[in-house]
Structure 1
């Protein structure tokens, strides 16, 4: 206005001349003003767009870790809708402002039309026009701002907000799939259902087993985590919300104490957004969309958390505590904490050694029977690295623990020296084993628990069946602890013994079958009992009896350990001997009706009469074998027809071996057996 008033006479000039003069100045002034404002706007816009993606990514990562994916997705959808609404409102406001600016010229004419021929420079009308022109310039500049804001909001929505929203949805989909799948891509069972959850009981895999001893009990995990995290936080408010702060720091790759960005955020940028308007872009590149990616499974999240913990710059005291070794743990803390931790360590090691020692305990009397050339005291000890070397205050106490546990002796003194070394270790493992290979029956701590459990359950039918219910995980042929040749021999021996009356059976109410085999050899001559009651999870029929007897062989082995001698195995050895020499036993009976001295007399209805002809004995035995084979075949076919795994006869699992044994015996009765008179 100062420029427009210059050169005007005191009497003034005509209104039309004022109009032309003022509008001319306005038209020349407005573009330069808008240009100046535009430069400032875009300078601000460049700063805004340059930081927008980083700020949004940080906010998204924080929200995901604090509130979860679903809440984050909903909030971002609301933000996208709000962006659309805001852009529309800004555009409408800009249009309204432009419309108002177009009315400036007519308003100037109205203001100058005051009914006087000439208007001086200081006339109120001229001052009013100046205010209108100033207001019009403000309106034009405001419209420019609104239009730029609307364009940038649209750009942010399309190029930044929606692509990031898709990335969040993708992360949620991948994570959901990873926790719901039955097994991992490498075939492992999905571990997600058994992951620890804050505020809930520790999962079983974090609870020490019977052979483990720990220095930090699982019930203390949460309180120790809180204490160690708060030790690194200086702000009282942050300590009050330490879990929220911890999640945020991990998500953004920040130092726990200071919040300084030092690591890799959990949200990875896959594309950098640049605005479509090149004037709003710092890089000079335009029209690129943002892209982000979250870890694709909860295990990927765990890997990133582990990496954060391993970086002492970020995890501070918390990371140091969680990644420290055993020696560092017992040597750290206040003096009283150190004393408590070292005492706890010695106590835990003592308990571990006491648990480990029985793993190689053998019963001397059984060792003498099974392995007369071996010593029952032979034992090897394996110990992983112990980080408390000579000179450390705990070194002597550790040696005393092993010495008192009888794991340290002059024999392994040189070996024990190698147990100690300077190294970072998290645990110490102690293993003991027999110094010599021995049969399972020699090991007291293996057999005694079985013997005690069987003794308690065997006298009650329901408890006995429960004892063996769901215990066998393999076919019966793989659970009888003998080789194929011995198994076949025992089956042949069973049928030979039944034919010759040397295998007897008697069913007792509530207890099942009492089975014996006659043995001719001292010191175990006479009837020798098989385990009684037999091992089974259901009542045993007569046709399943041989399978049940063989299934009970492990009980006989347990009895060997209990009694300290081999007597319980004598009946099984007798079956093998009968089965290996079946031809001789059958030939002696069929041809001459001869048996070992003191043997029971066979049932004439089964094996023929001793005073009868050889052919009659042959035919009787063959008829008995054929009838038995027919019975077994009928049972086996019925089982296959029913195809019911819960009602399958026990003998069906030995069907091939049983039929082969019967066929072998029948082959000896095809024709009369004569004495071999060849030279």
Structure 2
């Protein structure tokens, strides 16, 4: 017996697209011939008249110009910021090209002439790049990529303008700040900060050095207000320099009293929001804090026989009992001599290291309860974890380095033997 007929309507988007592509790709048909034709073959097609070839040349030239404009970066560079970062240089926009199949063709000559009379990019460089890429290859497309010279993110203007406007709107409200920053950071703090490992560690070490010397000014955690800034002492200028306030993680949301340093590092992101209005001066607080440990202009610098900033500061603190007339972070007022000061400062470092080890660094047998963030055997503890857990290892290691200097450095005014003064042969 005959079976009843059945019909299926296949109108899903993917099916329609597959059928359309199969139709266009039929061998020997007009569509296939058109799509497989190279740009050079399109311009030199003998099957069309001279007028048609001239129109095609004009259309290809127009396409090159439009593609060049579309290849420009979506953001601009601030010339003033760039000049400060690169010793007065001017940012020059350049373009790189894939193979351009118009060698010995009128289109190439007209395109080069257009480039020579355009002053919105590095003309000589772009013209040279085009000359190098001219060829007679049978290619169907030309790729163009526009770029500025390598620079720091702060040089790009407008990149974070919408984010900055949003922060300005919500920063006055605790709820607004919380909603703004909630779920925004997907990485641990070291991976989410716009700085390298050496820079971050130098700032951490500078924090410990400044803390010992009294170069950090902040309210007690339990009574701190979100709008009161943390300040660091600028030894070079002899003045206090304030960090942004409120921070992304202000005191009211720190969870623990030892999250000041991570919160200050996290606040570097706020400096990027203000760069367009205030320039590179917005990074001054972090630069000042780093100089407590490292006074290199752009990278860490050490010299055999010369004390580091930490060692020089500790020598002064031990020898005179104060640095720049600041009140030290440890009470040294009634210490009778440099060794008694050293003992008190070492004891303070040991107390902090013990607290970091007990509450933040993982290890067998450590507490797994609220107030301790070591092994994370219980999922619910993650929601109440302070920022300190992300930096605990580095905070501990850098404080150990400061402590080692403290244990060995000679107090200021102490006259070492000749052997201690040698810096080696100079040649």
TM-score category (smaller protein): 0.5 to 0.7
1:639 aligned counterpart, secondary structure: coil
Partner of 1:633: 357
1:354 matched to 2:69? The reply is yes
Deviation per residue, 1:492-545 (Å, 9 max, x gap): 2212222332112348998566222110213xx411122444345993343222
More contact order relative to length (CA 8 Å, sep ≥ 6): 2
Give the CA deviation at 1:477. Answer: 2.5
Q: Distance in 1 between matches of 2:153 and 2:260?
A: 26
Distance 2:86 2:417 in 1: 43
**CA distance 1:640–1:410, change in 2 (3 Å):** closer
Match of 2:327 in 1: 601
Query: Quick check: which one's helix share is greater?
Result: 1
Deviation, structure 1 residue 547: 1.4
Equivalent residues of 1:618, 1:672 under 8 A apart: no
Task: Label 1:337 to 1:646 Cα distance change in 2 as closer, same or farther (>3 A).
Answer: farther
How many equivalent residue pairs?
373
The more displaced of 532-541 and 485-494 is 532-541
Q: How far apart, in 2, do the equivalents of 1:555 and 1:456 lie?
A: 12
Alignment CA distance shift 1:463-1:587 (3 Å): same
Q: Is the Cα–Cα contact under 8 Å of residues 481 and 554 in structure 1 kept in the other structure? A: yes
Q: How far apart, in 1, do the equivalents of 2:396 and 2:178 lie?
A: 28
1:550 alignment counterpart = 265
Cα displacement (A) at 1:656: 1.5
Cα deviation code 1:148-168 (max 9, x no counterpart): xxxxxxxxxxxxxxxxxxxxx
Counterpart-to-counterpart distance in 2, 1:632 and 1:651: 9
**SS of 2:30's equivalent?**
helix
Equivalence for 1:426: 140
Cα distance 1:511–1:351, how it changes in 2: closer, same or farther (>3 A)?
farther
Matched, 1:197 2:14: yes
Verify: 1:491 aligned to 2:204, yes or no. yes
The answer to whether the 8 Å contact 1:402/1:408 transfers is no
Which structure 2 segments of 5+ residues have no match?
A: 1-5, 294-307, 362-371, 419-427
Q: Which runs of 5+ in 1 are unaligned?
A: 1-62, 69-194, 200-221, 226-242, 251-255, 257-307
Contact 1:543 1:632 in 2 (8 A): no
**Partner residue, 2:396:** 659
Equivalent residue number for residue 30 of structure 2: 317
**Of 114, 117, 120, the match for 1:406:** 120
CA distance 1:391–1:641, shift in 2 (3 Å): closer
Give 3-state SS (helix, strand or coil) of 1:547's partner: helix
- The Cα of 1:346 is off from its aligned counterpart by 6.3
- The superposition leaves residues 563-590 of structure 1 with CA deviations (integer Å, 9 ceiling, x where unpaired) of 334x233322322232352233233223
* Mapping 1:266-305, distance limit 5 Å: none
Q: Normalising by structure 2, what TM-score?
A: 0.68
- Secondary structure at 2:373 match in 1: helix
Counterpart of 2:284 (choices 553, 570, 576) is 570
Aligned to 1:17: none
CA 1:408–1:659 in structure 2 vs 1: closer, same or farther (change >3 Å)?
A: closer
Query: What pairs with 1:85-124 in structure 2 (closer than 5 Å)?
Result: none
**Structure 2 residue corresponding to 1:501, chosen from 208, 214, 223:** 214
Of 580-589 and 663-672, deviating more is: 663-672
For 1:667 and 1:495, how far apart are their aligned partners in 2?
12
The answer to whether 1:526 aligns with 2:239 is yes
Q: CA deviation at 1:558?
A: 5.8
Deviation at residue 382 of structure 1 after TM alignment: 1.0
Looking at CA atoms only, which structure, 1 or 2, has the larger radius of gyration?
Answer: 1
**Structure 1 length-normalised TM:** 0.45
Structure 2 CA distance for partners of 1:348 and 1:449, relative to 1, 3 Å:
farther
Which residue in 1 is equivalent to 2:232?
A: 517
Q: Quick one: distance in 2 between partners of 1:509 and 1:454?
A: 25
